[in-house]
Amino acid sequence: MSIHISSPCWKIECPTAGQKLILLKLADNANDAGVCWPSLSTIAKDCGCSTRTVSRAIVYFESINLLSHDRRFNSSNTYQFNIDTLSILSSDTIDTMSTPIDTMSIPIDTMSNAIDTSVSLTVIEPSYNHHIIKERSLPVKSEDQLRIEKLFGKRVTTPMDKAELSAWASAKGIVADMTDREWTELEDFYAAPQDKTYARKTLATLLNNLSGELDKASNWSHQHITAQRKISKPTVWS
């Protein structure tokens, strides 16, 4: 048994419990290279199922590129796990149950062509997850949400966490009513050194205290503009 083959297989979801058991049995027989050669009858006996059930499972594993096999004359077949597919299917980004293949609808003749049931079956332990990679869609965000997240350098592709989502739900009405001047004041306020502005440290905290922060930003802006005017005021010599 190879831990490099067995461990990923435990993370893979299968359409049926029987297929998962067959997958784990194959993994238990595989070496570090992902190769194994148990017979169909041995797999069926150890998994408590029929050889036909084993054959269907193997056809399924091959259909998702988890497994391939080579026929050997007067001996059991040799099965090879696809290590790359095994890694992909055991990843958290994989949707293993989307568009499952109905192996019960596969004609027996087709299975006979794919697997020589007259000899022992060697199956390389495949991780049983669909090789279909789930495409992560970008979180849908409004322009206001993107603009306020930008104050903290939050990436467009990064979704809000639970605290931020809760705070956003409470504050988005205030955000929607913000004027261009308020946006500018808030952005200037948060762009300034925080030891001078005492701006909120997190997005959730800002949203939970947005009205107060807008007032602080407005006051800071007025003070800052006044100070700038004093600095830039030319000296009048008498």
Looking at 55-148, which runs of residues are DSSP E strands? Answer: 67-70, 78-81
Question: Is 219 contained in some domain?
Answer: yes
Q: How many domains does the chain have?
A: 2
Segment 216-232 shows an average pLDDT of 72
Q: Which two tokens stand for residue 72?
A: 């050997």
Both 16 and 65 in a single domain?
Answer: yes
pLDDT in tens, 128-153: 444 444 444 455 778 888 888 888 88
Both 161 and 205 in a single domain?
Answer: yes
Closest to 90 measured CA to CA, from 27, 142, 150: 27
Both 106 and 196 in a single domain?
Answer: no
Both 31 and 74 in a single domain?
Answer: yes
Determine contact, residues 73/118, Cβ cutoff 8 Å: no
Both 161 and 82 in a single domain?
Answer: no
CATH at residue 38 = 1.10.10.10
Q: Which residue has the tokens 């958290």?
A: 92
Question: Is 19 contained in some domain?
Answer: yes
Which residues constitute the domain of residue 15? 3-114
| Top-ranked range on mean pLDDT: pick from 3-7, 26-30, 83-87, 170-174 | 26-30
CA atoms within 13 A on the CB side of 73: 0
Judge whether residue 98 has pLDDT over 80: no
- 3 state DSSP class of 81: strand
Determine contact, residues 70/78, Cβ cutoff 8 Å: yes
Question: Is 123 contained in some domain?
Answer: no
Determine contact, residues 41/23, Cβ cutoff 8 Å: no
Both 110 and 9 in a single domain?
Answer: yes
> Does the global pTM surpass 0.85?
no
Q: Which two tokens stand for residue 206?
A: 């800002």
Q: What pLDDT sits at residue 177? A: 86
Both 107 and 148 in a single domain?
Answer: no
Question: Is 224 contained in some domain?
Answer: yes
H helix count then E strand count, the chain: 12, 3
Lowest mean pLDDT segment, chosen from 16-25, 113-122, 172-181, 187-196: 113-122
Determine contact, residues 148/203, Cβ cutoff 8 Å: yes
Q: What is the mean pLDDT of the chain?
A: 76
- 3 state DSSP class of 36: strand
Q: What pLDDT sits at residue 106? A: 45
| Phi, psi (deg, nearest 5) at residue 135 | -80, 120
| Top-ranked range on mean pLDDT: pick from 21-30, 87-96, 118-127, 148-157 | 21-30
- 3 state DSSP class of 161: coil
User: What is the distance in angstroms between the CA of the first residue and the CA of the last residue of the chain?
Assistant: 96
